[in-house]
Chains A and B, each alone.
Chain A
Amino acid sequence: MLKKLLTLFHCSALGALLASGFALADTLDEVVDRGTLRCAVVLDFPPIGYWNDNNEPAGFDVEYCKDLANSLGVEVDLIPATWSERLPLIVTGRADVVIGSTSDSLERAQTVGFSIPYAVFVSQAIVNTDSGIETFEDMRGKKVAAGVGTVQEQWYEEYADDWGDDYRYQGYQSENEVFLAVEQGKVDAGMTGNIVAGPIAQRFDNIELGPVLPFTADYVSMAGPRKDVSWLNYLNLFIQQQVRTGRYEELWAQFVGSDAPDLTVGGVYY
C-alpha cells in the first residue's frame, strides 16, 4: 500500500515538474493571452476590501484590481481570500497577483515577490466599551486579538517575553472574527489597521476606537510570483502611475475619506 502511494506521489510530482518546465511565458504574457487577470483580494477588511450592499466585492483593493485589469485590456477575475490564503494562491498559480494589504516583511519576501508599497497603514486597536483600555499600556493583562498572519500579531508578539503572563494574545482566522470577538466581549481589544478601525468602531455600538499602536508604519505591497521579475516590474509601474495620475488619491478619498498617505520613505532608494 505504502509503495503504491509512493509511486503515485512520484508520478504526480514528475507530472507537475513537466507541466511547469515547459511553461516559460511570464505572468504578464499569460494574463494578456488568457484575457483575464486573476486578482486575489481580502474582502473582510472594510473599506479596503468588503462585500457591498448588493453583495458585490468593493473597496480600494477591488478598484485597484479593476484598474490593473483595465491597464492590461483584460477582464478581472476577483478571487476572495483570507489572510493566510494569500501566498498559496500565488504559489499554486491560481492567482496572478494578490492586492490584499500584504505587509512587505523580509521574511515573507524570501517566498513571494513584492511590488513597491501601494498603501501604508498605521496599526490601531479597537476596544470593547467595557474594556477600560485607553493607552497601549492598558492592553497589558487584557485579552487582545488579531488576525493570524497579520503584522499586528507579529509586532505584538515582541511584547510577549517582557509582559509574561500579562501577554494574553488570541489569534483568529479572519478580521471579521476579531471584530466579532471584540463586539461580544470575548476579548478586550483587537488590533488592525487604522483606516479599518474607524468604520468598525462606528458600525458597532460596543466597539470604540482604541489607542494607536506603537508599531512601525505598515507598508503594504502587491504580491506576485517571486521569480517573475518582469511581472513585478509591471506592477511597480502600475502603482507609480496610479499615484502619478491622481487615481490613488481619488480612490483613497472615496473609500477611506482622508488624505492619501505618502508612499515614499525619505533618505533611501527602494
Chain B
Amino acid sequence: MDYNFHWQPVIGRLPDLLLASLDTLQVAALSIVLGIVIGLLLAILRMNARGRWTPLQWFAVAWIEIARNTPVLFQLFFFGFGLGAWGWHLSPFMIVLAGLSFNCAGYLAENFRGGFQSIPDTQYRAARSVGMSAGQTYYHIIIPQVLRKVWHPLTNQIVWAVLMSSLGMLVGYQELTGSAQYFASRTYRIFEYFAVVALIYYALVKLILMASRMLGWRLFRSEGGV
C-alpha cells in the first residue's frame, strides 16, 4: 500500500468528532432506557403466558423474535424507508432511536426473562411467609437478585447499542461514524478518520465497562460483587 498518512485534517476536526460522539452516546443511552422499560414489559408478558396465549403474549413473542432474528440494519431501514413508504416520516435521529430501542427491547426481554426464571420460587414463598407483601417481595428480594443476574448482559447490551448506533449513518444520522465519513469524503483521508473514530469508540466502550464494573461493585458488594 503506497500511502502516506496525513493526520492534520483529522486533528483539525477532532472537536467536531467529539461532539458527534455525544450524539452517539445520546441515542445509545436513550435507546437503552427505552429498551429496558419495554424489555421488562415484554419479559413479564411472555412469562405470564402459562398455556393461555392472548394477543398481548403473541405481540411480545413476535417483537422478541423479530428483534433478535433480523439484522439491525434491516430494522433501521424499516423505521426509515419502510415507514416512509406509508408516508410516515421519522427524522434520522428518531429512526435510529426507534430501531435501536426495538432491538434492545427484544434482547433485554430475553435477558430479563432468564434473570427472573433463575430465581427459585422458594425465594418468593419464603419472603411472603415472613410477612412481606407481593410488592415488598419484588422490591427487596426478587429484583435485586434479578438485577445482579442480568448485570453483565445489560452491560453488553449498552456496549452493543453504542456500537450499533454507527449504522445510523446509513439512514442519514450524523453520529460519530456518519460525521467521520462526511468529513472524510471532503479530503478522502478515510483511513485517518476511521482510525481516530475507532479509537474514540474504543475509549467510549472502555469507559462504559469501567462505569458498569464500579457501579456493579457498589450495588452488589454485600453479595460478593457481580
Contact = CB atoms under 8 A, between A and B. Distances in A.
B175 to A, nearest CB: 12
Given A173-B170, A181-B84, A184-B84, A91 B6 contact: no
Interface stretch (B19-27, B111-119, B136-144, B181-189): B181-189
Contacts of A34: none
B225 interface: no
A171 B181 CA distance: 11
Contact of A186 (B6, B89, B170, B185): B89
Contacts of B169: 148, 173
A91 B178 CA distance: 21
Interface residues of B, number: 25
Nearest to A92: B1
Contacts of B81: 177, 180-181, 184, 186
Contacts of B6: 110-111
B153 interface: no
B87 A91 contact: no
Contact of A107 (B89, B178, B186): B186
A225 interface: yes
Size class of the A contact interface (CB-based, 8 Å) = 20 to 34
Nearest to B182: A148
Nearest to B185: A149
Interface in A137-194: 145, 148-149, 153-154, 170-173, 177, 180-181, 184-186
A171 B174 contact: yes
A1 B190 CA distance: 28
A170 B172 contact: yes
Contact of A110 (B3, B85, B92, B187): B187
B1 A20 contact: yes
A14 B217 CA distance: 42
B124 to A, nearest CB: 42
A177 B1 CA distance: 32
Contacts of B181: 84, 148-149
B2 interface: yes
A10 interface: no
Interface string B177-203: 010011011111111000000000000
Contacts of B187: 107-108, 110-111
Contact of B185 (A110, A148, A225, A228): A148
Nearest to A23: B2
Contacts of A184: 81, 84-85, 87, 89
A93 B172 contact: no
Given A20-B2, A91-B1, A170-B92, A185 B87 contact: yes
A201 interface: no
A93 B1 CA distance: 7
A91 B3 contact: yes
Interface string B145-185: 00000000000000000000000011010100010011011
Contacts of B188: 87, 107-108, 110-112
Contacts of A268: none
Interface string A218-230: 0000000101100
Given A110-B6, A111-B189, 14 more contacts: A16-B1, A91-B191, A145-B172, A148-B178, A148-B185, A149-B184, A154-B186, A173-B170, A173-B172, A180-B81, A181-B81, A181-B172, A184-B81, A184-B85
Interface of A: 16, 20, 83-84, 87-88, 91-93, 107-108, 110-112, 145, 148-149, 153-154, 170-173, 177, 180-181, 184-186, 225, 227-228
26 contacts: A16-B1, A83-B185, A84-B181, A93-B1, A108-B186, A108-B187, A108-B188, A110-B187, A111-B6, A111-B189, A148-B169, A148-B178, A149-B181, A149-B185, A149-B186, A153-B185, A154-B186, A170-B92, A171-B172, A172-B172, A173-B172, A181-B84, A184-B81, A184-B87, A186-B89, A227-B2
